[in-house]
Structure 1
């Protein structure tokens, strides 16, 4: 049986605990960042973003994405809705199809979380 002994009091840094708490992210900002990160925290959503990002005009029709990601059209539509609600995409109806365009500023918001 292994026992653990506490460090002698003389080696404990008394300033390391219970001092001024470190600066933290305001709760509202943390919630906004978490929502954004949750939107991209899915393999299919990342694939969809990459399809749109790599297209010449940073836009794609839902009809072109379904086969590329290997899931059903309703599933693709659900993921596109999540990305649109997070502000990463805009949606435009063209005839019977929905076209999605990337919002580059929102990708910048994701990058800024880690700066």
Structure 2
């Protein structure tokens, strides 16, 4: 009987200890109250100004972070093809794909 009571007491103590640990905060004090609810709502013009500022900063950062280069100058210039060149290229791709399908060289649909 005493062993059962001790076992239950130990289980309750461990249960209380874990719930107390989860209830604790991170231990930091937010002196600036940055997470506090705003005292007044922002107006539409303030929201628009903040959005424009974020957009400008994002655009500036996107131009700096071009993959494979150090800036927008390394992006290169896209080649402009005429409509006839695109039609010819599409016909060639279609013909090559048709030949590959007939020969059984494609893996589309096969897993």
Tell me the TM-score range normalised by the shorter chain.
under 0.3
More helix by share: 2
| Greater fraction strand | 1
Q: TM-score, normalised by structure 2?
A: 0.23
Larger radius of gyration: 2
Question: What's the TM-score, normalizing by structure 1?
Answer: 0.23
Q: Which has the higher contact order (CA 8 A, sep 6+)?
A: 1
